[in-house]
Amino acid sequence: MQLDLSTLPYRSTRQPLFATRGVVATSQPLAAQAGLAMLQRGGNAVDAAIATAVALTVVEPTSNGIGGDLFALVWDGARLHGLNGSGRAPAALTMEAVRAAGHASIPARGWLSVTVPGAPAGWRDLHQRFGQLRFTQLFEPAISYAEQGFPVSPVLAQYWERAAALFATSRFNAFVIAAAAGSKEQMIAEKEAAIAYFMDQYEKMLRENIDEHLTRFDQTGA
């Protein structure tokens, strides 16, 4: 390959990166370091990709949340494998239910737009098929970042600031931690109140679902 590094066709402050044992590329340096650490421990590209994705759920969840989806293309040296780890819609979320809630389509925000997370199951499936390191090892960098803290990148800080303003008028405001939020005790109390609210809503939906199935069983026997 002929490449003149002094006359690159693209305007950028980034320089080309060359490596002989593997490269990890992502939008967050700390997540890239997590993937690189797996390669240094003897893991393969799939181990590195999973560790990177898991770390992103901590250091840049706006791009790769634990409740998100996963898509992967894996070349094993002989065959190309594809994985569709997109989240499925809940079984009871029919168009009739959406219309009954007053919507002509799935709203951009709220519980109706939530799908069953596909990413965690995708990590497991990829590791079972291609992984070399222990599955728990792939989570160690993310756990370290979560427990010990990390410097928030400027882009992530901007996204979180936008989200704080967006959710300021909703119940999710209890999870928004701002400099003027008050004392630590106050923030803990607000979080506990929000968790109690969501648990109450979950239990309510669960009871309704159970009642629906019992009614169906009484009517059809199945």
Domain spans of the chain, in order of start: 1-150, 167-222
Tell me: the pLDDT tens digits for 82-102? Answer: 999 988 888 888 888 889 888
Question: Torsion angle, CA of 123/130/20/71, rounded to 10 degrees?
Answer: -40
pTM exceeds 0.85 for this model: no
pLDDT in tens, 141-186: 999 999 999 988 888 888 877 877 777 666 555 555 544 455 666 6
The model's pLDDT over 100-131, given as tens digits with 9 standing for 90+, comes to: 888 898 888 777 888 888 999 999 999 999 99
